[in-house]
Amino acid sequence: MPKFCANLTWLFTELPFLERFEAAKEAGFEAVEVLFPYDVNAQDIVNELGKHELQMALINCPPPNYTGGDQGFAAVPGLEERFKKDFGRALRYARTLGARHLHIMSGVAEGPEAKETYLNNLRWAAAEAPTQSLTIEPINTETMPGYFLNDFDLGRAIVTAIDAPNLRLQFDTFHAAKITGDVLGTWAATRDITTHVQIAQMPDRGEPDQGEIDYPAFFADLDAQDYQGWVAGEYTPRTTTVDGLGWITDT
C-alpha cells in the first residue's frame, strides 16, 4: 500500500490550523504537507510535528499564500530578484520544518523568454540548495489560468534540461486528468522523474474514491513499481475529513 500523507491546507479545515496536526496523527497519517505555512510561526509548526511524530512532506514556494495574487514567479521575466528573495525565505522555512520537498511554482507567463527565465531560475535554485529536494508541478489552466507549467511534456523537458539530482516532478492526479485525460498513461510516462504524488478525484476534486480516476489501479501501479515517495491527499472533503477517509482503509 502506498504511504499516504495529509495536506493540511485542504484537510481537517474544520479545525484551527495548529490542531490539524493532532487530527492527522489520530487519523493514522505519518506525514503532512502544508502549501503555504508562512503566516504561522515556524517553531509552532515544528512543535506540532515533534509532539505528534509527524514528518513534513512538502511546502510551496513562493511565500506568502498565492490566493488572490501571483501564483509564483519562477518563469516570470523581470522578477528574477524577487524569485531569489522568495526562494531564500521558503528554503529557510523548509529547513526549519524538515520539509522533504520544496515545490517551486512557475507563475503566470508564456513564450520562449518565460521558458528561459524558468530554466535559469530553477538551475540557480538547484545549485543554491543542493541538499533540498525541489519539485515542479504541471497545473491545468482551468484551475490556474495562464500558469506556465501546464503540460507534462514540458515538465519532462524542464527536468531533463536542468539535469540536477535534486529537481524532480510533482505528479498531481487531478491535474493529470485535466491536462491529458489519462492519469495512468501520464503516470507511466513520467514516473521515472517523479518524486512526490498528490491525489484527488475527478470531477469534484473530492476524496479519491468514486469518480473518473481508477484509484485501485493507480495505487496498484505505485505498489508494483515500488514507489517509495509520499502520496498526499490534496482534495476537498465532501463532508468532514474524518468521515471521508474510508478510501484509505479500502485501499
Q: What is the pTM of this model?
A: 0.95
> Of the listed 33, 48, 207, 234, which one is catalytic?
234
Helix (H, G, I), strand (E, B) or coil at 219: helix
Residue 208 has pLDDT above 70, yes or no: yes
Count the domains in the chain: 1
- pLDDT one-digit tens code per residue, 149-173: 999 999 999 999 999 999 999 999 9
Q: How many CB atoms lie within 10 A of CB 22?
A: 15
Task: Give me the pLDDT at residue 66, please.
Answer: 52
Rounded to whole angstroms, the Cα distance separating 171 from 174 reads 9
Residue 204 has pLDDT above 60, yes or no: yes
Residue 234 a catalytic site member: yes
> Of the listed 19, 137, 142, 207, which one is catalytic?
137
Alpha helical stretches, state H, the chain: 20-26, 42-51, 80-97, 112-128, 152-162, 173-180, 183-190, 215-224, 246-249
Residue 67 has pLDDT above 90, yes or no: no
Residue 63 has pLDDT above 90, yes or no: no
- pLDDT one-digit tens code per residue, 104-157: 999 999 999 999 999 999 999 999 999 999 999 999 999 999 999 999 999 999
Query: Quick one: cell of 166?
Result: 535534486
Structural domain for 219, as ranges: 3-249
- Which run of H or of E encompasses 41? none
Residue 188 has pLDDT above 70, yes or no: yes
Residue 64 has pLDDT above 70, yes or no: no
Task: Give me the pLDDT at residue 62, please.
Answer: 87
Query: Mean pLDDT of all residues in the chain?
Result: 95
CATH at residue 69:
3.20.20.150
Residue 79 has pLDDT above 70, yes or no: yes
